[in-house]
């Protein structure tokens, strides 16, 4: 039985390896440019073996997307658990995003792949999606934060939370799309991070209740 366990372990490792390689290729070249051939070569496997683990390109890419979303979600579990105030959650979100990830990789993966797999589907549509997806959990998380901020009197009470969530993620998705078009070394540069922080800040201000003191929206520092 030790043998079959090792086998099982190896199988899981191989799956991971394929996913990892595909991820890296997507980050390096963009989804559209990644072929099964590329993935197999990078994973040092034959294409046929890749098909053994993933029955098709779409399935494989979808799992990458889900994994990225899962990582994202794992990371922001504290927010989900509701132990934070809205603004603290936002700060936590931002810090987690920038300081911990240090890059936009998860978001890039999520948005790029999503668009690739479901080109006819709106990326951000709280209603239509099958709720088993981790991507939706992300959406829910954001929505929760937004609702909380509204409840706490920081965000405009008239703000439509669902729509604000879409808008918020749209922002991210575009910033991220732009990031993917940059040379890898530039992606994590302070300039990009700064621009993202500014964008984040502007969105928050846009969401804010009229007359509120902006300093409480500050995410970048202390």
Residues that bind DNA (CB under 7 A): 3, 7-8, 10-11, 14, 34-38, 45-49, 51-53, 55-58
Q: Report the half-sphere exposure of 34 (CA within 13 A, side-chain side).
A: 25
Q: Which residues in 72-104 are b (16+ Cβ under 10 Å) and which e?
A: bbebbeebbeeebbbbebbbbbbeebbeebebb
CA distance 91 to 159: 20
CA distance 80 to 138: 10
Nearest-approach distance from CB 45 to DNA, in angstroms: 4
Told to check if 182 binds its own copies by CB under 8 A, we report yes
Told to check if 216 binds its own copies by CB under 8 A, we report no
**Single residue of 84, 88, 117, 203 touching its own copies by CB under 8 A:** 203
CA distance 157 to 165: 14
Which tokens hold the place of 141?
Answer: 């998380």
Told to check if 129 binds its own copies by CB under 8 A, we report no
Nearest-approach distance from CB 138 to DNA, in angstroms: 26
Q: 47 is in the binding site of which of its own copies, DNA, none (Cβ under 5 to 8 A by kind)?
A: DNA
Q: 219 is in the binding site of which of its own copies, DNA, none (Cβ under 5 to 8 A by kind)?
A: none
Q: 49 is in the binding site of which of DNA, its own copies, none (Cβ under 5 to 8 A by kind)?
A: DNA
Q: 167 is in the binding site of which of DNA, its own copies, none (Cβ under 5 to 8 A by kind)?
A: its own copies
Told to check if 198 binds its own copies by CB under 8 A, we report yes
Cβ closer to DNA: 30 or 206? 30
By CB under 8 A, name the binding residues for its own copies.
29-30, 32-33, 115, 118-125, 160, 163-164, 166-167, 170-171, 173-175, 177-178, 181-182, 195, 198-199, 201-208, 210-211, 214
């Amino acid at each position: 039985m030790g043998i079959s366990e090792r086998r099982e372990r190896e199988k899981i490792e191989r799956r991971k390896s394929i996913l990892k390689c595909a991820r890296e290729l997507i980050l390096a070249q963009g989804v559209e440019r990644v072929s099964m051939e590329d993935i197999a070569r990078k994973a040092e496997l034959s294409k046929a073996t890749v098909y053994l683990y993933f029955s098709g390109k779409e399935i494989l890419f979808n799992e990458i997307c889900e994994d990225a979303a899962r990582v994202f979600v794992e990371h922001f579990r504290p927010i989900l658990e509701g132990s934070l105030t809205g603004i603290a959650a936002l700060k936590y979100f931002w810090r987690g995003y920038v300081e911990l990830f240090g890059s936009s990789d998860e978001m890039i993966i999520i948005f790029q792949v999503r668009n690739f797999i479901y080109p006819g589907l709106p990326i951000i549509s709280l209603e239509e999606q099958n709720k088993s997806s981790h991507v939706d959990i992300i959406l829910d998380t954001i929505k929760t934060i937004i609702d909380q901020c509204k409840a706490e009197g920081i965000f405009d009470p008239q703000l439509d939370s669902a729509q604000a969530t879409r808008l918020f993620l749209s922002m991210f998705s575009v910033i991220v799309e732009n990031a993917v078009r940059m040379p890898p070394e530039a992606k994590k540069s302070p300039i990009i991070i700064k621009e993202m922080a500014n964008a984040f800040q502007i969105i928050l201000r846009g969401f804010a209740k009229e007359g509120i003191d902006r300093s409480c929206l500050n995410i970048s520092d202390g």
